[in-house]
Amino acid sequence: MKPTIADLRRDYTRDGLTEAQAPVEPHVLFSTWFAQAVEIETTEANAMMLATVDSAGQPHLRTLLLKGFDERGFVFFTNYQSAKGEQLSAQPLAAMSFWWHDLERQVRIEGMVEQVSPEESDAYFHSRPMGSRLGAWTSPQSEVIAGREVLEQRLAALEIQYAEQQPPRPPHWGGYRVVPSLIEFWQGRSSRLHDRLCYRLKAGNWVLERLAP
Ligand SMILES: Cc1cc2nc3c(=O)[nH]c(=O)nc-3n(C[C@H](O)[C@H](O)[C@H](O)COP(=O)(O)O)c2cc1C
């Protein structure tokens, strides 16, 4: 018999997470988990959900690709004039979530958001394939468009314009960095008794606490 939605469940038994495994700096543990996700996950390990909030308090959520991280924070690239860009200029706060299914792990990150330096955005933009660079010029991201042909016509014009020269980075396109004030590492365990180790930034120091699952 076909299982109903209510029957769909999986017991998580792959691994555990103890305080002894948690370094002082959370980005060090993120780095370890991310490297394992790149190795093991069958889907894009750098795909994550990013939540922003608008001035009415309505949360908005979408999938993005993480493009860098270090002790300063977590970087993604997008259109500064998109819906998320508007939301971030009004309320520069975000939450991020990774779900690494094969590893039975989730990481949640919360913090303030800032634009990365123009040099950082330039460096990443120029590392992208030509199609993606022209795509950044082509798409008025999040705006209503009359049809797909709007994009195709714009792209065709840009291909002619940039046939013999490199497109510059559009001024409305670049990176954001989520500067974390909270990072939670979640490891699925059996019988829903998961491990949750949560780092919170307090007076400039990371404080580690275990949360009930
Ligand atoms: C796997 C995946 C990766 C994505 N990566 C990005 C990304 O890195 N940057 C981006 O602007 N949009 C990316 N998108 C599209 C976003 O989910 C979203 O549609 C777009 O950014 C517009 O969001 P907004 O209207 O809330 O601003 C991705 C979508 C998927 C499914």
Rg for the chain, CA atoms, rounded: 20
26/185 Cα distance (integer angstroms)? 9
- pLDDT-derived band at 2 (thresholds 50, 70, 90) equals confident
User: Does the CB atom of residue 62 touch ligand 1 within 6 A?
Assistant: yes
Please state the atom number of ligand 1 nearest to the C-alpha of residue 83: 27
- Ligand 1: distance of its center to the CA of 63 in Å? 5
pLDDT surpasses 90 at 61:
yes
The residue whose CB lies within 8 Å of the most ligand 1 atoms, and thus the one to mutate among 64, 69, 81, is 64
- pLDDT-derived band at 209 (thresholds 50, 70, 90) equals very high
The verdict on residue 29 lying in a domain is: yes
The verdict on residue 143 lying in a domain is: no
Tens digit of each residue's pLDDT (9 = 90 or more) over 126-140: 999 999 999 999 999
209/73 Cα distance (integer angstroms)? 20
The helix (H) or strand (E) run that includes residue 49 is: strand 47-53
CA angle 135, 73, 109 (to 5 degrees): 95
The verdict on residue 159 lying in a domain is: no
User: Does the CB atom of residue 76 touch ligand 1 within 6 A?
Assistant: yes
The verdict on residue 23 lying in a domain is: yes
User: Whose CA is closest to atom 14 on ligand 1?
Assistant: 64
- Sorted by sequence, the CB contacts under 8 Å of residue 192 that are 6+ apart come out as 213
Residue 202: CB atoms within 10 Å = 9
Q: What residues make up the domain containing 101?
A: 9-125+171-210
Q: Is 128 a catalytic residue?
A: no
Q: Which residues pair with 115 in a beta bridge?
A: 176
Mean pLDDT of 95-118: 98
Tens digit of each residue's pLDDT (9 = 90 or more) over 166-200: 999 999 999 999 999 999 999 999 999 999 999 99
54/193 Cα distance (integer angstroms)? 35
- Ligand 1: distance of its center to the CA of 173 in Å? 13
- Count CA atoms within 13 Å of residue 43 on its CB side: 9
The verdict on residue 34 lying in a domain is: yes
- Sorted by sequence, the CB contacts under 8 Å of residue 173 that are 6+ apart come out as 77, 78, 79, 80, 121, 125, 136
The verdict on residue 110 lying in a domain is: yes
The verdict on residue 144 lying in a domain is: no
User: Does the CB atom of residue 51 touch ligand 1 within 6 A?
Assistant: no
- Ligand 1: distance of its center to the CA of 6 in Å? 30
90/171 Cα distance (integer angstroms)? 19
CATH of the domain at 25: 2.30.110.10
Q: pTM surpassing 0.95? A: yes
The number of distinct structural domains making up the chain is: 1
The verdict on residue 149 lying in a domain is: no
pLDDT surpasses 90 at 54:
yes
